[in-house]
Structure 1
Amino acid sequence: MRHLVVGSDRVDAGKTTFSTGLLERVGGVGFKPRAGNDYWFDHDDVRRAVADGRLYGKDAQRLAAASAADVAPEAINPVHRLWRPAPGGGTGIVGRGDRQFVADRLRIPGGDDAFVVGGAADVPAGVREALPLDGATVVDSAAALDEVTRERYLPALSRLAERVRNRDRAVVESYGDVARPLRDVTFDAVVAVEPGRARVFDGERYARACEVVGGSARGGRLEESVGDVTDVVDPTATVALPALSDSERTDPAAVADAYEVALDAAVAAALD
């Protein structure tokens, strides 16, 4: 039973909270193919990780903790990006005017980590001191980052996809509003989460909708958005999600209890 959880909003859609509740309900292991955090806005999370010479985010940490196996955040999240604000503007090498790409952490075979650093990045002193960045790959253009992505990132994601396929029960959480984070995995059901509701989709129909959008004039890009995909496929169920307190959101058992109806619909769609 493989579930994909996607978000209808670019940020704070509630994907991780829903995913931990789903893991509590069905068991298995959670996966987060790509993730990222901001040195300014997620400063405590960054400091906590780099204090141990590591780089990961709280989403992967929560998924790892909720999993029915002993897994490290880096093991279920092969690509993690560190940003920092760019008050002066400029698009940088990844096309974001408000953010500067600082570094990526890439989990490679054998459980080791490699790093890729932006050539013009203003790497915070604490990050540079804590992480082994001296031997990192440096990229100074979008083309260079694309090349590294093809040579190193995509194989890492392919290995993650293989691990997902080999799991009897897996919950994959997407990133941002990306509709399909792993292209070579078949999901039994997909849940699109947004503040206040969850929409459940048949996995096969959702995959076909991704193909339709990807081949259309509106699509034409590598990563389809959730909104574009859900516009062309009907959900099997739409369920209201109650607002949760901070303590409830961080407790998978409490989430599973509060989201019981939505989780029932997700499991039913996967078994149908």
Structure 2
Amino acid sequence: MKLLVAGSAEVDAGKTTFTTGLIERTGIRGFKPRAGNGYWYDQDDYRRAVEEKRLYGKDARKIAAANGDVRPEAINPIHRLWLPTPGRGKGILGRDGRRFLFDRVTRDSEDTYVINGKTEIPPAAERAFPLAPALSVESLSELNELMAERHAPALDALAEEIETRDGAIVESYADIARPLSAFAPDAVAVVEPRRCRIYDGERYAKACDVASGSAHEGRLEERVESVVGLLDPDDSLTLPALSSEERSDRAVIADAYEEAYDALLAAV
């Protein structure tokens, strides 16, 4: 059984809360192929990263913890650190107000880094991570070439691992419809504040193929709303609001979201 959890809001959609509760409910391993956080907006994560000299975010940490004794990097091979740049226009990736500092790419338990050669790396990060031998890019075309060379094989390796499992829960990132193009889910949950929509996995994958072709963050990816706009959901359910304490307890989440999980599993 392969399940996909995607979000229709770029931030704070509730994907990871939903995913960790689903892991608790099913006992199936969760994966977060791609993730990122901001130097300013996720300062706690950033400080922990430089202290531990390991780059991963709170979403991967929570999913790894729900899995048991699993390193976040093992289920999250690609992590990007962002820097807000208010008033400075668009960077390499064409995003107003922010640009990427560097990516961590993990394959076969080995971390490599790709840095933005046009942005100054914060001193603490420069000291914490082995960035001196990292590959540097200064244009979108250079980044795309390196993503094909470094990122894609790491994601392909994760996809192969997922394929060998009887069950897997894959969480997407931001409002991207699917984080692994080769991943074929049996059912999909699209999560947003207060609502969860359930889709048949095969129809969702076909809609992703139809919606493909929009440039986003250095590669061709489909946004969730572009995909679900082509589909009617199998079900749509209201998610109850949970306190921060409740969101930290996977058993509480599994109980609170029971109706949504029942609908998702019924769609398999």
Normalised to the residue count of structure 1, the TM-score between the two structures is 0.94
Q: Hey, which bits of structure 1, 4+ residues long, moved more than 4 A?
A: none
More displaced, 206-215 or 187-196?
A: 206-215
2:194 maps to 196
- Please tell me whether residue 77 in structure 1 is matched to residue 88 in structure 2: no
How far apart are 1:215 and its partner, in Å? 6.9
Following superposition, the deviation at residue 90 of structure 1 comes to 2.1
For 2:43 and 2:209, how far apart are their aligned partners in 1? 38
CA shift, 1:88, in A, is 3.6
Distance in 2 between the 1:134 and 1:88 partners? Answer: 29
Q: Which residue of 2 aligns with 1:114?
A: 112
User: What's the offset of the Cα at 1:233?
Assistant: 1.2
**1:224-272 Cα deviation digits (max 9, x unpaired):** 11101111111111111001000111211111111010011111112xx
Runs of 5+ in structure 1 lacking a partner?
A: none
Checking the alignment, whether the CA contact within 8 Å between 1:37 and 1:82 is kept in structure 2 is yes
Instruction: Look up the match of 1:9.
Output: 9
Which residue is 2:262 aligned to? 264
- The secondary structure found in structure 1 opposite 2:12 is coil
Correspondence for 1:243 among 235, 241, 246: 241
Alignment partner, residue 97 of structure 1: 96
Count of aligned residue pairs for this structure pair: 264
Q: Which residue does the alignment assign to 2:124?
A: 126
* Contact 1:26/1:169 (<8 A) preserved: no
Q: Which residue of 2 aligns with 1:21?
A: 21
* RMSD of aligned Cα (Å): 1.3
1:150 to 148, 160, 175: 148
Gaps of 5+ in 2: none
- Structure 1 residues 208 and 41: CA distance shift in structure 2, 3 A: same
Q: Take 1:176 and 1:123, find their aligned partners in 2: how far apart are those partners?
A: 24
**Structure 2 match to 1:175:** 173
Identity %: 56
Q: Does 2:14 correspond to 1:32?
A: no
TM, length-normalised to structure 2: 0.95
TM superposition shift of 1:212: 2.1
Which whole-Å CA distance do the structure 2 matches of 1:122 and 1:98 have between them?
15
Q: Does the Cα contact within 8 Å between 1:5 and 1:19 map onto a contact in 2? A: yes
Amino acid at match of 1:104: D
Give the counterpart letter for 2:124 in structure 1.
G
Deviation, 1:29, is 1.2
